[in-house]
Amino acid sequence: MEVFQMMRTERFEQIVFCHHPDIGLRAIIAIHDTTLGPALGGTRMWPYASEEEALTDALRLARGMTYKAAAAGLNAGGGKAVIIGDPKKDKSEALFRAFGRFVESLKGRFITGEDVGVDVNDVEYMAMETRYVVGLSREHGGGGDPSPVTAYGVMQGIRACLLERFGNQDIQSRRIVIQGLGKVGFHLARLLSRYGAVVTGTDIDPDRVAFARRHIPKLQVVEPEAVYDVEADVFAPCALGGVLNDATIPRLRAPIVAGAANNQLAEDRHGDLLHRRGILYAPDYVINAGGLINVYVEIEGYDRRRAITLTRGIFYNLRRVFEISRREDIPTYIAADRMAEERIAAIRRVRNFHVEQPYLARYPRYARQ
Ligand code: NAD
């Protein structure tokens, strides 16, 4: 693999290979773009088949974080780390503390937290060696489980979609079908139901369905396979990625797709297909940014009210995406990328002359790292 060639094409700033021979740590930290602020992104642990696979994953995920943070209006850039290993067998206190020391050595250029294979206990080990971690439990000064904030953000996004499609953002009496009643799906179903929506949900795990039914008396339930055929105003994918594909899109009977799941489009061309069919798609990384916003707020000292206030902005971020999509007649997933790229380019230009900014020390939330 031509690493520098790839870095040049995708405009990567830095890749750090971390190795601790005694502990057996092999990790890669990819820093994509820090124009807006420190690179923010989780650390994933996975038994990659090869080093190349690990590197490719780190780069792809780090780039995605740049777009997500920029579109959310945060003063953060994009990064991601991967630890090569099996989370079921290879975890230890020493491994995560050693990794934490590598994170510390970057002096705040990279701030990390949980991801697939890495949980809050592992992050707490990292935190013994570095200040630059987020996603800690509430007891340790962190924001705790981000899923209620993510769900709140998705609801704001659904409002923006309703306004765009129907000229009215009211949730009352809207029919919303939710795929996946896990952490985010459950909170979303409960919130929407409280606002008077007619909510239908599904999950492959019967325990999740039973739990949701107990807490949301009016919830209607369908079988997992039937979820694409439900006639509704909004289809909200909150389970897995790749659910918008050749097989499912023709079945959809909702004019809006707006949910929390990551990587909803199986391929980019499915975003084009939705556009052609007149289905309004809320780009996943814009609408599900509540979780990222929640950890971002932790950098400044966690405050739930501030996390909620910032998350409310997802409504306006999506309005802007739809405006670009309408104006240029492009699919929303492309409009979202454009919005993120324009913001990064604009802020890069803002900073091309020198100003003494000693007052920023008093307002760390606005200070550049
Ligand atoms: P979760 O694991 O708690 O919930 C996912 C649920 O989907 C589970 O209950 C699972 O049984 C169910 N499911 C799996 N396959 C299904 C299928 N085919 N049909 C119906 N249900 C199915 O995860 P979560 O934290 O709620 O996250 C949901 C999605 O949102 C994921 O894609 C995640 O990456 C994304 N996301 C989550 C957050 C967050 O704050 N938790 C933030 C941003 C994005």
Among 84, 109, 133, the domain boundary falls at 133
**Domain presence at residue 339:** no
Residues 126 and 193 in one domain: no
**Domain presence at residue 369:** no
Residues 205 and 111 in one domain: no
pLDDT of residue 207: 97
Among 110, 133, 156, the domain boundary falls at 133
Residues 28 and 127 in one domain: yes
Residues 160 and 110 in one domain: no
**Domain presence at residue 356:** no
pLDDT of residue 160: 98
b/e string for 235-246 if b means 16 or more Cβ within 10 A? bbbbbeeebbee
**Domain presence at residue 351:** no
Among 133, 159, 178, the domain boundary falls at 133
Nearest CA to ligand 1 atom 4: 182
Q: Which residues are catalytic?
A: 80
Residues 119 and 200 in one domain: no
Q: How far apart are the C-alpha atoms of 67 and 65, rounded to whole Å?
A: 5
Structural domain boundaries, residue 117: 3-68+75-133
CATH at 270: 3.40.50.720
pLDDT of residue 121: 94
Cβ neighbourhood burial of 88 (10 Å; 0-12, 13-18, 19+): exposed
**Domain presence at residue 119:** yes
pLDDT of residue 352: 85
Residues 214 and 311 in one domain: yes
pLDDT of residue 365: 60
Residues 104 and 152 in one domain: no
Query: How far does the centroid of ligand 1 lie from the alpha carbon of residue 185, in Å?
Result: 7
CATH at 54: 3.40.50.10860
Whole-angstrom CA distances from 360 to 53, 143, 190, 298 are: 41, 24, 41, 18
Q: How far apart are the C-alpha atoms of 126 and 267, rounded to whole Å?
A: 35
Q: How far apart are the C-alpha atoms of 107 and 101, rounded to whole Å?
A: 10
Residues 126 and 225 in one domain: no
Q: Where are the beta strands (DSSP E) in the chain?
A: 14-20, 25-33, 39-40, 43-46, 77-84, 110-111, 175-179, 198-202, 220-221, 234-237, 256-257, 280-281
pLDDT of residue 83: 98
Q: How far apart are the C-alpha atoms of 21 and 7, rounded to whole Å?
A: 27
64 lines ligand 1 (CB under 6 A): no
What averages of pLDDT result for each successive group of 10 residues across the chain (369 residues)? 90 97 97 97 97 96 97 97 97 98 98 94 96 90 91 98 98 98 97 98 98 97 98 97 97 98 97 98 98 94 94 98 97 98 96 79 57
Nearest CA to ligand 1 atom 2: 182
**Domain presence at residue 201:** yes
Domain count for the chain: 2
**Domain presence at residue 178:** yes
Residues 56 and 82 in one domain: yes
220 lines ligand 1 (CB under 6 A): no
Query: How far does the centroid of ligand 1 lie from the alpha carbon of residue 280, in Å?
Result: 21
Residue positions counted in the chain: 369
The secondary structure of the chain in percent helix, strand, coil, rounded to multiples of 5, reads 50, 15, 35
Residues 154 and 122 in one domain: no
Nearest CA to ligand 1 atom 17: 204
3-state secondary structure at position 15: strand
Residues 98 and 156 in one domain: no
Residues 36 and 113 in one domain: yes
pLDDT of residue 317: 98
Query: How far does the centroid of ligand 1 lie from the alpha carbon of residue 361, in Å?
Result: 39
242 lines ligand 1 (CB under 6 A): no
262 lines ligand 1 (CB under 6 A): yes
156 lines ligand 1 (CB under 6 A): no
Q: Relative to the CA of 284, which ligand 1 atom is closest?
A: 44
